Structure 1
Amino acid sequence: MNRDNVLIDAKHLTKVFGYGLQKTTAVHDVNFQFHEGEIISIVGESGSGKTTLAKMIMGLLGETSGEIEYKGKPRKLRSHKDRKQYWKDIQAIFQDPFSSFNIFHKVDKLLTDCIKLQGLTLSKEQQFEKMKEACSFVNLKFEELYNKYPFELSGGQMQRLMIARIFMLHPKVLIADEPTSMVDACSRSTILDMLLKLRDENNMTIIFITHDVGLAYYVSDTIYIMEKGQFVEGGPAEDVILRPRHRYTRQLISDVPKIHEEWNLA
Structure 2
Amino acid sequence: MLKLERISKTYKVGAFGGGVLHAVSDVSFDVAAGEVVSLIGESGSGKSTIGKMILRLSKVTSGRVLFEGTDIATLRGSALKGYYRQVQGVFQDPFSCYNPVFRADRVFSMIKEEYFPGTSAAEWEEKVEAAVSAVRLNPGQVLGKYPHQLSGGQLQRLLIARALLLDIKLLIADEITSMLDASTRIDVLNLLAELKARGLGVLFITHDLSLGNYIAERTVVLRRGSVVEMGPTGRVFGNPCHPYTIKLLDSVPRLHEKWTTTEPAAEEPWVREELVEVEPGHFVAGGYRGSGAGSGVREEPAPR
The two structures have a TM-score, normalised by structure 2, of 0.78
CA contact (8 A) 2:42 2:207 kept: yes
C-alpha change, 1:213 and 1:63, in structure 2 (3 Å) is: same
Residue in 2 that maps onto 1:3: none
C-alpha change, 1:57 and 1:260, in structure 2 (3 Å) is: farther
Equivalent AA in structure 2 for residue 174 of structure 1 = L
Question: What RMSD, in angstroms, separates the aligned Cα atoms of the two structures?
Answer: 2.1
CA contact (8 A) 2:31 2:202 kept: no
What are the residue-to-residue correspondences of 1:8-87 with 2, within 5 Å?
8-19=2-13, 20-76=17-73, 79-87=76-84
Give the deviation of 1:260 after TM superposition.
11
Equivalent AA in structure 2 for residue 184 of structure 1 = D
5+ long unaligned stretches in structure 1: 1-6, 262-266
Post-superposition CA distance 1:121-161 (Å, at most 9, x none): 32211111111122222232323333222233221211121
Higher relative contact order (CA 8 A, sep 6+): 1
Give the deviation of 1:104 after TM superposition.
3.4
Give the deviation of 1:100 after TM superposition.
1.9
What are the residue-to-residue correspondences of 1:1-266 with 2, within 5 Å?
7-19=1-13, 20-76=17-73, 79-119=76-116, 121-201=118-198, 203-254=199-250, 258=254
SS in 1 for 2:89: strand
Larger radius of gyration between Structure 1 and Structure 2: 2
Distance 1:160 1:55 in 2: 20
Number of residue pairs the alignment of both structures matches: 254
Q: State percent identity of aligned pairs.
A: 38
SS in 1 for 2:229: strand
CA contact (8 A) 2:12 2:21 kept: yes
Give the deviation of 1:83 after TM superposition.
2.7
SS in 2 for 1:18: strand
CA contact (8 A) 1:88 1:117 kept: no
Equivalent AA in structure 1 for residue 223 of structure 2 = E
Equivalent AA in structure 2 for residue 67 of structure 1 = R
Equivalent AA in structure 2 for residue 41 of structure 1 = S
Post-superposition CA distance 1:207-247 (Å, at most 9, x none): 01100111111111110000000001100001111101100
CA contact (8 A) 2:65 2:73 kept: no
Equivalent AA in structure 1 for residue 138 of structure 2 = K
Runs of 4 or more consecutive aligned structure 1 residues displaced over 6 Å after TM superposition: none
Residue in 2 that maps onto 1:264: none
Residue in 1 that maps onto 2:283: none
Equivalent AA in structure 1 for residue 162 of structure 2 = R
Distance 1:119 1:252 in 2: 45
